Chain A
Amino acid sequence: MAEQRSRRVRHTAVRGRIAAALTVVGLLAAACGPSSATAIAADGLERQPDGWHGLPVEHDRSLPEVTLEDVDGDQVDLGKDLLGTPTLLFFGYSSCPDICPIHLAAIGSAMGTAGVTFDELDVVFVSVDPERDTPARIEDFLANFDERMIGLHGELDVVEDALGQLDLGGPVVEGPDPRGEGDLIGHPAQVIGFDADGQARRTWPFGARRSDWVADLPRVVTEWS
């Protein structure tokens, strides 16, 4: 009887210790929760009912009617010069620590995997940071993903005009980059897909994974050319 009681007391003590340890762990974990900078799901985009992973564009939009400069100094009229082949258009900046390099790396790599060439698809990067993004800097930045990507830059008001024509918000300074590389700039996080006639067809928000691009890129080429 006494032995049973002592065993019960011992078990209760052990259970108490385990419960206390779990409580401490739980409290610590809850108290020190991570501060999320960009809420994204790691499982990529959901497949749409029509089989696309990119989201359909809700309103009719076409390539913006603006003229920018490429890294060689040539003028590029987006509304005219990009017609004839499907285009993926993305607004970003070369000092971007996350969205821009992740999107561009995914597109560059997925094109290789899906067997889509730069003759069949234009990938256009427009800088929203004219102060820091010199042509040489844009060229160096894009070379990290694929040097055949087209880098464009222009005055800030021209870039804002292009964004406005697509109903996208203008670039905003978000505060200092924690890496100590100047300011972070807020910019649209989606890639917009235009068909060969310059009509916007799909967008791929941040969170699109290579598997999403590998599924969609062959359709971009075959259905939008």
Chain B
Amino acid sequence: MNVAFWCSSTPGQIWTWRYTPFLGVWAVAAALVGGYVLAHRRAGRRVDRRLLRRWVLGVLALVVVSEWPIGQLGVGYLATVGIARYIVYTFVAAPLLIAGLPDWLVERWFPAGTRRERVLRSLTYWPIALLIFNAVLIGTHLPVTIDTLKTTQLGSFGVDVLHLAAALTWWWPAMRRAPAEPNAIEEPLRAFYLFASSVLMFVPAAFLTFSPLPLYGLYELAPPLWLGFDPLQDQQSAGIVMNVGGGFVLWGIIASLFLRWAADQQRSDERARRERDAATLERIRALEHDGDPSA
């Protein structure tokens, strides 16, 4: 059986449906789940099943798109699958991992006042996080990056790590809640933050969709999986996947967050009005009581 560390493009290698395990993927998954459970044991805390489920689902998403066949197809053969991998890393795995982190574990991994915590605070300050996310998005989708780094296992691994790290950084201020997280942002800033990213994501997506020529030599010169599906069509469909995943799905998230915020606002307004009304009634009753000595 062929074994590899991480999925990478091997120019000229004909695609076959023969299983190639990627050992690095299983090692990373084991480290993530094992590290999570071990951290709970060391701290003498019980694992919160709800949080564990989210964490494991995040790890599972990483494994599914990094292991054979999706990892190999995305890195070596089809740009569409390559972009879909990026979307899963960014919009599925990263938010699930953050949602699975208990506050105490963040404090344990990033103790207050340490350099590690200061680095985390600087990177997850929302304008910096926005900048990092978009720099990684653009930088790792440049043809020169793809054609160079994805042809080696270490390069491909590095790009995947960068995608996950950038996505975690980017989701951090939007998902972590104050007061545990000083960098947490709330509506309407959070909606703007996510919206700005979705708009910027349309730039590489537009290049993929509307370029008259294939941008990536790696996919253009890869042995075709089936005849009739041209590398240019593949690239256009990759652009659509980025648009749908990065744009419209994100807009869905923004819309739902915004609606939830609006509903919360309405509820708190109503509560305040009810309290005001109750206080007014109380005052009227008190006045009536004071004005009527027989009462």
Contact = CB atoms under 8 A, between A and B. Distances in A.
Contact of A210 (B4, B213, B224): B213
A25 B223 contact: no
Given A105-B231, A141-B227, A209-B220, A25 B18 contact: no
A97 B223 contact: yes
Given A34-B10, A40-B11, A177-B14, A144 B228 contact: yes
Interface stretch (A41-49, A63-71, A116-124, A130-138): A41-49
Interface in A7-58: 25-26, 28-29, 31-44
B202 interface: no
Interface stretch (B39-47, B123-131, B133-141, B145-153): B145-153
Nearest to B147: A42
Nearest to B3: A32
Contacts of A179: 14-16
B221 A42 contact: yes
B221 A113 contact: no
Contact of A42 (B11, B14, B15, B213): B11
Contacts of B18: 178
Contact of B14 (A28, A97, A214): A97
B19 to A, nearest CB: 13
Given A109-B232, A144-B228, A207-B221, A40 B213 contact: no
Nearest to B76: A34
A98 B12 contact: yes
A43 B210 CA distance: 20
A37 B10 contact: yes
A43 B217 contact: yes
A141 B226 CA distance: 11
Interface residues of B, number: 36
A36 B12 contact: yes
Interface in A139-192: 141, 144, 177-179
A150 B103 CA distance: 68
Contact of A29 (B152, B228, B232): B152
A221 interface: no
B5 A105 contact: no
A101 B23 CA distance: 32
A42 B153 contact: no
B14 A25 contact: no
Contacts of A25: 5, 24, 154, 157
A35 B5 contact: no
5 contacts: A25-B5, A34-B8, A41-B217, A42-B218, A97-B224
A42 B151 contact: yes
Contacts of A113: 212-213
Most buried by A among B12, B15, B24, B151: B12
B233 to A, nearest CB: 10
Interface of A: 25-26, 28-29, 31-44, 97-98, 101-102, 105-106, 109, 113, 141, 144, 177-179, 206-207, 209-211, 214
A187 to B, nearest CB: 14
Given A32-B153, A109-B230, A210-B213, A102 B224 contact: yes
Most buried by B among A26, A33, A35: A33
B214 A36 contact: no
Contacts of A106: 220
B10 A36 contact: yes
Nearest to A98: B223
Interface in B140-168: 147, 151-154, 157
Given A40-B221, A41-B217, A98 B153 contact: no
B4 A32 contact: yes
Contact of B16 (A44, A178, A207): A178
A209 B232 CA distance: 12
Give the 4 A-B residue pairs with the shortest CB-CB distance, closest first: A38-B12, A42-B217, A34-B10, A98-B223
Contacts of A210: 213-214, 220, 232
Nearest to A97: B14
B164 to A, nearest CB: 15
Nearest to A34: B10
A40 B157 CA distance: 21
Contacts of A98: 12, 14, 223-224
Contacts of A144: 227-228
A29 B7 CA distance: 10
Contacts of A28: 5, 23-24
A12 to B, nearest CB: 16
